[in-house]
Copies of this chain bind each other. A is one copy, B any other.
Amino acid sequence: MFDFTFHNPTKIIFGADKETLIGAELKAAGISRVLLVYGCNSVIKSGLLERVMSSLAASNIAWTQFGGVVSNPLLAHTREGVALAKQDQVEAILAVGGGSVLDEAKAIAVGALTAEDVWQFFLGQKVERALPLFTILTLAATGSEMNGNSVITNASARQKYNISSPHVYPRVSILNPELTHSVPLNYTAYSAVDAITHVCEGYFTKQPGTRLQDRLVEGIIKTVRETTELIMAEPTHAKARASFMWAATLALNGLTPAGVGKYSFPNHMIEHALSAIYNIPHGAGLSIVMPAWMKWYCPQNPDQFARFAREIFGLDSGEAGIAALEQWFIKIKSPVRLHEVGILATDIEAIAKNAHGLARQWGIAELYPQETIAEILRLAV
């Protein structure tokens, strides 16, 4: 165990129809006008947005609609949201959608309270304050509903950068697992990969000897695997969708790394470079990167890989555990090689260069020189 501070003040309201409580929650927080951030038309077609607006109206909360957030949310669109939040003097941001919508909403919450360009904060400036954020989640994957992280893509600079700040933890996040029943199976698979990767980053890169945290991680991975298979067989499996959703939240809410000391996010680093350049789904990128990274990293932490193989797959070697995880990604139809998403071996140097830029930002440039990242990526050809 190492010293840590754990402080996660997000209130989670979990269950069927809970999105109808959003008006009352905002009112209780003294808020009278929000920027209502969402993505594509699916939240309109499904009737969710209408239910949300009814709840707002019933509590006399005014709103400004701001749709059009895309997967791998874009800086240019974020800036539009910041301008609108300022223009309409909203008092809070309400995000209705998946991780991308939540991440962009967080960025808007930061940008709305400063005269500076919001990208400055993604380049390293410290976030000092943000508008309060409320969320209604429609996709279980990123954990953004219960953490202080936001990832935004600057398309022209081909940079997918993040902020991490206590000021952007949602005040309230509403998780209705029924809203995820219609998530397509390919995106469910990518979400499973994302949640598993979130816990694996710390599990493999921390120092050895924090078994409580190991066990929390293993419990989450087992649950994600088990529920993903149930969902693949029956997409509206209510119990499985619900457990999957809560497991994905716990996978990146600060619980599993509390006390483990220093650790890093090498798979996310490399994947952010991939999707910054190629705009592939984040989870699809991760299922390509992670087996490759594991094969490269396994000799540096053989005991933990052996433990992973034993606890998750009942296998007796680290290599066998990595192979089993890769096979499982194949089974749930998430890609495991670069060519499956149209990336060529000749693209590797450009990706490695981009990822190394992130490695510098994340303080792991010495561990991950460009050539090392290229070596890892070549294992995914």
Contact = CB atoms under 8 A, between A and B. Distances in A.
Interface residues of A, number: 39
Nearest to A211: B223
Interface stretch (A2-10, A42-50, A368-376): A2-10
A281 interface: no
Contact of A219 (B2, B18, B219): B219
A5 B12 contact: yes
B8 A13 contact: no
B3 A12 contact: no
A215 interface: yes
A220 B255 CA distance: 13
Interface string A1-35: 11111111111111110100000000000000000
Contact of A4 (B14, B209, B216, B239): B14
A5 B187 CA distance: 27
A11 to B, nearest CB: 4
A193 interface: no
Nearest to A21: B5
Interface in A321-358: none
Contact of A6 (B4, B14, B177, B226): B14
A246 B18 CA distance: 32
A177 B216 contact: no
Given A223-B212, A246-B259, A5 B1 contact: no
Interface string A228-260: 000000000001001100110010000100110
Closest 5 CB pairs of A and B: A3-B15, A215-B219, A1-B242, A7-B11, A212-B223
11 contacts: A1-B14, A1-B177, A5-B11, A5-B14, A209-B239, A211-B222, A211-B226, A211-B243, A212-B220, A212-B246, A243-B259
Interface of A: 1-16, 18, 177, 209-212, 215-216, 218-220, 222-223, 226, 239, 242-243, 246-247, 250, 255, 258-259
